[in-house]
Structure 1
Amino acid sequence: MNLILLIMAFCVGVAMSVQAAVNTQLAASIGANSVVAAFVSFACGTIVLGGMALSRGGLGPTFAALATQPAWKFAGGFLGAAFVFGTVFLAPRIGLLSLIVLVIAGQLITSMAIDHFGLIHMAARKVSGVRMLGAGVVALGVAVTLFGERIVAGFGR
């Protein structure tokens, strides 16, 4: 795999954590309104992406092609909104670390299923035993992150 692409993926993970923290602070500063904070986040992102789209040739031909797309292909926007709202709502309630490890666990399980079975019209990439082991190690890390202190305290009794 291309090292630059792997570094970019890592940076996306960094951005997710920072985004959750920034949006949580925005929500707190506007009266704990998670929905408005998520809306503002999306509005800012829409402006940036709109500018980038215009700089790459405009939106006209793309908008024309949108009319022919099946409705399920628009689910990404709803899922993105749910993600941003979920992070803004959950981070102050369960903590950023718990939120992110659970997000990673959910992404890991779902991504393995999508890759393995070629779901949502993605290319099928069989999940090997070694990758399953790696996922298990990550799942164990999630469990230790979430419950490790209770487990250690239980041994001290």
Structure 2
Amino acid sequence: MNTAPFYASVMLAAGIGIPILAALNARLGQHMGSPVAAAVVLFVVAFLTATAVVLVAGPGALSQVTTAPRHLLLAGCLIAFYVLTITWIAPKFGVGNAVFFVLLGQLISAAAIDHFGLFGAQISPLSLARAAGIGVMALGVAITQMA
């Protein structure tokens, strides 16, 4: 079975969800009068959702966190940074603008991680075509800012 189409579909759905998350949480932050409080609510809902999934999938893997290298836990700080900043900035800058810059940052970071095999990632050298694609994306972001 070729799992690539399935993985691509799941990640496409996740990508579709990012701007929706940004718009919903930005609006919640406006409604509550506090982007930080809205982020807390988002994390509580996310925690409860993830907890339900891990209980169904089998909570045994959670015991492995005590032996994980501590730097791997910084991913939680990065998601908190993303949620806090998108909730705060999207209402002022626009969801599209905010997400476009997030996407540009993701492309740059992903290219560096793949090129150098950072964090145990499979090495995929930065080709001229990939660099050109990132450049085209950067140009696209710049064009959206001119409008």
Q: TM-score, normalised by structure 2?
A: 0.92
User: Structure 2, unaligned stretches of length 5 or more?
Assistant: none
Distance 1:13 1:105 in 2: 13
Q: TM-score, normalised by structure 1?
A: 0.87
Question: Residues 39-118 of structure 1 correspond to what in structure 2 (within 5 A)?
Answer: 39-58=40-59, 61-118=60-117
Distance 2:140 2:120 in 1: 31
Displacement over 6 Å in runs of 4+: none
RMSD, aligned CA = 1.4
Query: What letter matches 1:96 in structure 2?
Result: V
Q: Percent identity?
A: 31
Structure of higher RCO (CA pairs closer than 8 Å, 6+ residues apart): 2
Q: CA deviation at 1:146?
A: 1.4
Q: CA deviation at 1:128?
A: 1.6
Q: Which residue of 1 aligns with 2:11?
A: 9
User: Structure 1, unaligned stretches of length 5 or more?
Assistant: 150-157
What secondary structure does 1:67 align onto? helix
Does 2:133 correspond to 1:131? no
Deviations 1:100-132 (A, max 9, x none): 111011111111000001112211111221111
Count of aligned positions:
145
